[in-house]
Amino acid sequence: MSSSDPVKSAIDDWKFADRAAFEAEMKVADATLSHHQRRSGPPSADMVGDARRLRAVADRRLSTALELMRVGAAPADRRPTPP
């Protein structure tokens, strides 16, 4: 997902990652509920690990988007200079 606006692109990237993380988390929640209702075994370690990794990616992308928004909103004389 790319855009000419880096902030919009970062937000779009976060939304995509957040949706993937949410879907993985819902699978874990469904598996946990099913387990508590004695219909199946607990969610697998792989399933839980995947959900955690996807959430970490989404969180990093959100941090990036927020930082770009903060820098973009800063007065020109307070913006960090690129390396």
Determine the pLDDT at residue 18.
98
**82 part of a folded domain:** no
**80 part of a folded domain:** no
Structural domain range at position 44: 6-72
Determine the pLDDT at residue 78.
54
Mean pLDDT (the chain) is 89
**1 part of a folded domain:** no
Determine the pLDDT at residue 50.
98
Residue ranges of the chain with per-residue pLDDT less than 50:
1-2
pTM, rounded to two decimals:
0.79
**39 part of a folded domain:** yes
How many Cα atoms sit within 13 Å of 64 on the Cβ side? 17
Total count of domains within the chain: 1
Determine the pLDDT at residue 5.
87
Tokens standing for 6? Answer: 């880096």
Determine the pLDDT at residue 76.
55
- Nearest alpha carbon to residue 47 among 15, 19, 23: 23
